[in-house]
Chain A
Amino acid sequence: MARKARIVYTNRPWEATGICSGCRLCELWCSVEHNQTFNPVRSRIRVVEIQTGIDVPVTCQQCPDPACLKACRFQAIALDEKLHIPLVDEDKCTGCKECLGACPFGIITLDPATHKAIKCDLCGGGEPACVAICPSRVLAALDDEGAAEYNRRRFAALLAGDDELRRLRPGGEEPVPEKLRREVERP
């Protein structure tokens, strides 16, 4: 039985290269995977720059009870039998944009070229283009269990709050800081 998966931002904030660099290669190669052209606005994964130095890739989390599906008056969004994720049927989509307003995360967007709603389709079940291209390896297609582990982590960070998190140095430290690992070796 195919297991549902979703693209998760699996950042490793203790590593300088474990954080989204803002390179936007995911946007460019998602676009080309689906449209054979490079156009970030037609990508199903988008990098949002919160402020200088903070870039976050966001894409569909494949909600089990999708708001987009419920908002659609044309039955253009349905759960795919193979992948168990909501997918847009372009033949039925009228470009009315109600799903855009319904998604609480702003994930589903309108393709400016086709005027149809677009969202992450996990690249049809193969290795997602964004996961493959990310040089920092901060994107992963996780199944339910994997995604739950990440959600737990995030919730824990929320509970720890800013004060505890600020104790992490700006550049980040590995779990065992390099300075401690580095020793003068004797032959």
Chain B
Amino acid sequence: MRVQVRLYPPLNNTAGVERLTLELEEGADLGDLVAVLADRFGEALRVHLYDRRGIIPGWCAFVNDRPNPFNRPESLSLTLSEGDRVSFLLNLAGG
């Protein structure tokens, strides 16, 4: 199945691309999507997505505009569907 991915800083800068379409296995979840991204764009991106404990909790994946913060472990098990729009935004508001 295909999902539309939107990358925000710093992921888009590192990856060199802002929007892309990814092909995933049926039944893939958000955790799988992160792994695919890290594989695709290599170490430079991986270091922003993972630390030694696993996927960095400060990310929030908006799936069709619904937030799924990664510090909620159930977020990573959210199953994706064909045509889903997924955006990666860093949590941590400022001002």
Contacts and interface: CB of A to CB of B under 8 A. Distances in A.
Interface of A: 181-187
B23 interface: yes
Contacts of B20: 184-185
B17 A185 contact: yes
B16 A184 contact: no
Interface in B8-58: 12, 16-23
B85 to A, nearest CB: 13
Interface residues of B, number: 10
Contacts of A186: 21
Nearest to A186: B21
B8 to A, nearest CB: 13
A15 to B, nearest CB: 12
Given A182-B12, A187-B21, A187-B22, 16 more contacts: A181-B16, A182-B16, A182-B17, A182-B18, A182-B19, A183-B17, A184-B19, A184-B20, A184-B21, A185-B17, A185-B19, A185-B20, A185-B21, A186-B21, A187-B2, A187-B23
Contacts of B12: 182
B79 to A, nearest CB: 20
Contacts of A185: 17, 19-21
18 contacts: A181-B16, A182-B12, A182-B16, A182-B17, A182-B19, A183-B17, A184-B19, A184-B20, A184-B21, A185-B17, A185-B19, A185-B20, A185-B21, A186-B21, A187-B2, A187-B21, A187-B22, A187-B23
